[in-house]
Structure 1
Amino acid sequence: MFRYSATQWIFGDEGIEASLKRLQKYGYDGVELAGEPYSIDIEHTKRLLKQYGLICTSICGIYTAERDLSSSRPEVRQKAVQYVKDCVDMASSLGAAHVIVVPSPVGKSRPETTSSEEWANAVNSLKEAGEYAASKQINLAIEALNRFETYLVNNLETALALAKEVNVDSVKIMADLFHMNIEERSHVQALKTIAPYLVHVHIADNTREAAGMGQTDFEPVIRTLIELNYQGPITMEFLPPVANPYLAASKTGSSEVFDLYTERSIQEMKRIVQKITGTASA
């Protein structure tokens, strides 16, 4: 019913082959690769994906201060837009359908100028990047991050307003359950509100650990996705408890913990799907 993947950058500085081997072991369909188009070896990655029988479902953009689509500085915006375009090229080369975009970077708690000006900057940046993505038949998926990580787009209603103002067919929305646990009053209603734009989902529990290890009730979420005939991937994005999630990418983690979380996440999703549909999830 769903294609399951996991974000590779959550495994820290682990080599990509080790990550792909883990995903194959626990029955995943694909991987979401970090948006680092300037360092990845595309041909080597293609060979590894083929070797382990996995697809690249998506590219997770990494939005630092130097990649700020809303910046008041034109040179920063220009570099940010080019970065998204380069991620689109990366996605196209690897057969991925989606590139995740965050309008204002992690760590930006307030505007450099005004919120309205930076909103307009984000709209213009996404128009340009979105038109390029459309030419490559790639979706840009706007991700709303919680108020403690950034300021401009914190919930799905705001992401919807942004996508509508951009008004480019390739600019869609993704839903991240960790951020939704903080910002949304109702998972179900939020998903229904953005349904026409929903192309991607990230799964983590309220603790940001693997699904099933915290307090999130995922059953209504999965039931709603099934009812909405959601066609995108279900991507696991569990993380260690750090204030800045990008710090995880520079840390060496425990392979035992990675194994536990990777297995637990997909088992929890498949258990829920089976409970709802009465059939085992492949």
Structure 2
Amino acid sequence: MTNKLKYGVSTWLWQSPFTTESISLFSKIKAMGFDVVEIPVENPELIDAKVVGNALIEHNLKPTVCGVFGPTKDLTHDDVSVHETCFRYVEKCFELCNAWNVDFVAGPMYSAVGKARMISSEERKREWELAVSNLGKVCEIAQDFGTSIALEPLNRFESDMVNTAEDVMRLVNDINHDKAKVLLDGFHMTIEEKNIRDAINTVGNKLIHVQVSENHRGIPGSGLTPWLDFKKGLEDVNFKGAMVIESFTPEIKELAGAVCIWKDLAESQDGFATEGLQFLKETFNKA
């Protein structure tokens, strides 16, 4: 039930990329009242798994791992060498999972973020089949590491492949591997879904991770998201994973540009985190 929810926050709210030095955020994140810290792995070479692992233990934070998939890590690329780069990258992410006792890598790993085009039905079918085939290979790698993947639908401006719960379940069913699971992100859902509760039920027990911000990427509770429907949906499927606040600092221009954040979404990033957490606990911990 939702009263078992663990609450987390992505380090992207403050920094990009995550490096070993980013552990300086952990004491603040713990003091704010979070149980979980989400670590986006932009470059695994910048992360000392042991140092980060010790800091996680010191601050009693449970990590989650989010993969980052740009043009150089695109499983639907025409060039198979790009697929190989992606396979090697996800292996490094799974190694971090093993080091930190995390049981999945989350993210939109079926294609490159921002790949949103008008293409022919034949090309779309070809790319879909590539994604299914290559994600099957990723699931085999995940199985070797004792982990899973959590596939994330993105809104139509960030992906032309998987936008809804229905889309991601079609993908999971086509992959047909028990290591293929689902992440749902409330921001994307408010753009693409007709009903958030129905969308969560569409995914059902495949849902192992949730990310949230508002429909405008701002502080949870400050926008149009139907949070009661969200809560009921998670209760329907008996969700027991983590709910992680994911938004981005406008201070990191490259990242802010990639997600189209052109202005401050809160008076401070710390305020974003603390106000968001307070709202989530008040909403989802109610009987």
> Fold conserved (TM > 0.5)?
yes
Whole-Å separation in 1 of the counterparts to 2:249 and 2:39: 18
> In the alignment, does 2:86 pair up with 1:80?
yes
Match of 2:222 among 195, 213, 236: 213
Q: Which digits, 9 at most, give the CA deviation of each residue in 1:110-146, with x for residues without a partner?
A: 3698111111111111101111112222120111111
Q: For the residues of structure 1 that align with 2:149 and 2:89, how far apart are their CA atoms?
A: 13
Note the 1:223-238 alignment, pairs <5 A. 223-238=232-247
Q: Secondary structure at the match of 2:268?
A: helix
| Alignment partners' CA distance in 2, 1:239 and 1:40 | 20
Deviation, 1:41, is: 0.8
Map 1:22-41 → 2, pairs under 5 A: 22-35=28-41, 36-41=43-48
CA contact (8 A) 2:212 2:243 kept: yes
Trace 1:1-282 onto structure 2 (pairs within 5 A).
1-13=4-16, 15-35=21-41, 36-56=43-63, 58-102=64-108, 103-110=110-117, 114-240=123-249, 247=258, 257-275=268-286, 277=287
Whole-Å Cα distance in 1 between the matches of residues 257 and 95 of structure 2?
Answer: 23
Q: CA RMSD in A?
A: 2.4
Question: Secondary structure, in 3 states, of the residue corresponding to 2:137?
Answer: helix
Q: 1:254 to 1:180 in 2, by over 3 A?
A: closer
Between 158-167 and 222-231, report the one with greater CA deviation.
Answer: 222-231
Describe the shift of the 1:213–1:18 C-alpha distance in structure 2 as closer, same or farther (beyond 3 A).
Answer: farther
What amino acid is aligned across from residue 210 of structure 1 in structure 2?
Answer: I
For structure 2, the 5+ residue unaligned runs are none
Residue type at the aligned position of 1:267 = Q
- For 1:22 and 1:156, how far apart are their aligned partners in 2? 34
Say if 2:30 and 2:59, in contact at 8 Å, map to a contact too: yes
> How many Å separate the matches in 2 of 1:197 and 1:246?
32
1:4 and 1:266 in contact (8 A); partners too: yes
Q: Per the alignment, in what secondary structure is the counterpart of residue 78 of structure 2?
A: coil
Cα distance, 1:151 vs. partner? 1.1
Q: Quick check: 2:198–2:233 contact (8 Å CA) kept in 1?
A: no
Measured in 2, the distance between the counterparts of 1:133 and 1:264 equals 36
Counterpart of 1:5 in 2: which secondary structure? strand
Q: CA deviation at 1:239?
A: 2.8
Greater mean deviation of Cα atoms: 179-188 or 2-11: 2-11
State how far apart, in whole Å, the 1-side matches of 2:254 and 2:186 are: 17
Distance, in Å, in 2 between the alignment partners of 1:26 and 1:126 is: 37
Percent sequence identity over aligned pairs: 27
Equivalent-residue separation in structure 1 for 2:249 and 2:62 (angstroms): 25
Aligned residues: 272
Alignment partners' CA distance in 2, 1:239 and 1:121: 31
For 1:120 and 1:245, the matched residues in 2 are separated by 32
Q: CA deviation at 1:163?
A: 0.6
Contact 1:104 1:153 (C-alpha < 8 Å) held by counterparts: no
Deviations 1:129-169 (A, max 9, x none): 11111222212011111111121111111110001110111
Counterpart CA distance in 1 for 2:237 and 2:265 is 37
What is the one-letter code of the residue matched to 1:179? H
Any idea what the Cα deviations from partners look like across 1:20-51, whole Å, max 9, x if unmatched?
Answer: 12211111111111123222011110121112
Give the partner amino acid of 2:161: L
> Which deviates further from its counterpart, 16-25 or 260-269?
16-25
In the alignment, is the contact (CA less than 8 A) between 1:6 and 1:236 conserved in 2? yes
- Cα shift readout 1:243-274 (whole Å, capped 9, x = no counterpart): 965747xx9x9996111111111111110123
1:107 partner amino acid: G
